[in-house]
Structure 1
Amino acid sequence: MADNENAASEARTPRWRRWLIEALVVVLLVAGIRIWMQRGMVDGEAPALAAITLDGVPVQLADYPDGPVLLHFWAIWCGVCELTQSGIEALADDRAVLTVALRSGGAEAVRAHMKREGLSHPVVLDDSGRLADRFGVSGVPASFIIDSTGRIRYRNTGLTPAWELRLRMAWLEWWG
């Protein structure tokens, strides 16, 4: 009898409503995981960053006064980072991007990795992890979008599609 009542109840619930509820549960789950992964990451004013890229060019966040800059932490040993690298490279073709190679084995290892993968975006080394600590990065990949005033407007740890980063940067450029 109870099975018949459950079956009758399910039959009365429209399929689209069940799908909507299931989709809402998935969205809430993903949002919760993202929020949990961001714990400890710096928000508000971006910490000072003054470094030298692999190419020997001094760089700081103040070098990007005309719009948002993507500060992207990654590592050569990170499988998820490898999935995002081509998107970050494409983003760097027409947006301000600065990447940080975290604990990746030194300049020669990072240079070899960049050459092997066909990457040319600007890279700062953080073998000690001090820069990552200042930004509250506890896992990679980690992305920050920093506006022209030096405020962090977006942050995320984990897989972030390049289209999402591009969209967020465009939003800041247009509506700041």
Structure 2
Amino acid sequence: MSQPKQSSKWLKLLKNIAAMVVMFMLISTAVDAWRGRNLDPQAVPLMTYTDLQGTTEDWLERSYSEPVIVYFWATWCPVCTYVTPTVNWMAADYPVVTVALRSGSDAKVAHYLEQQNYQLITVNDQLGQVGQQWQITATPTVAIVHEGEIVSYTTGITTPTGLWWRRWWASFSG
């Protein structure tokens, strides 16, 4: 007799977990929409950047061949310590450019990346000018640009699965 009772408990627990996941996704989507409300997806700022290694690339042009992940973070951002490993993982297979916002000198940012063993193409935005052009209001922020338009935009914590799905979905957008 305890078997049906036990399975009923598990079913109730699974329903509660599913409800919380759906609620989290709705709230997260609403927050992202609110934070990105002034962002014009077609008004992508110029994306020709020189990274810490001195390489200059036009990331906007590259977005016409495949989606590009643009990741805004900071060495002083506690939430970034959870998201940056995911971005680093994605960078092994997909085009990713990261922008370190107001994180100090090139040497300091390069040292931080080396210390964390991150293999990221990074632009150092010491004065926050790139962040202002992109209207970044929170770190971390991830934008995915495809065919010259922002097709996905999220702030705060994102999971590896969430970022992978956003990037995958972006390949069909634009």
Task: Tell me the TM-score normalised to structure 1 length.
Answer: 0.80
In the other structure, the counterpart of 1:53 is 51
The alignment partner of 1:79 has SS state of: coil
**Percent of residue pairs bearing the same amino acid type:** 25
Task: Tell me the TM-score normalised to structure 2 length.
Answer: 0.80
User: Does residue 158 of structure 1 match 2:164?
Assistant: no
Gaps of 5+ in 2: 1-11
* CA RMSD, 1 decimal: 2.6
Aligned AA for 1:95?
Y
Partners of 2:84 and 2:97 in 1: how far apart?
12
Alpha-carbon deviations, 1:148-174, whole Å to 9, x = none?
x21110111111223222222222335
Q: Cα–Cα, structure 1 residues 63 and 28, in superposed 2: closer, same or farther, change >3 Å?
A: closer
Runs of 4+ that moved beyond 4 A: 14-27
User: Does residue 31 of structure 1 match 2:29?
Assistant: yes
Q: Cα–Cα, structure 1 residues 41 and 159, in superposed 2: closer, same or farther, change >3 Å?
A: farther
Aligned AA for 2:48?
A
Aligned AA for 2:152?
Y
1:132-147 equivalence runs, <5 A: 132-147=131-146
| Cα displacement (A) at 1:51 | 1.8
In the other structure, the counterpart of 2:93 is 94
| Cα displacement (A) at 1:42 | 4.3
Q: Cα–Cα, structure 1 residues 121 and 132, in superposed 2: closer, same or farther, change >3 Å?
A: same
Aligned residues: 162
Gaps of 5+ in 1: 1-13
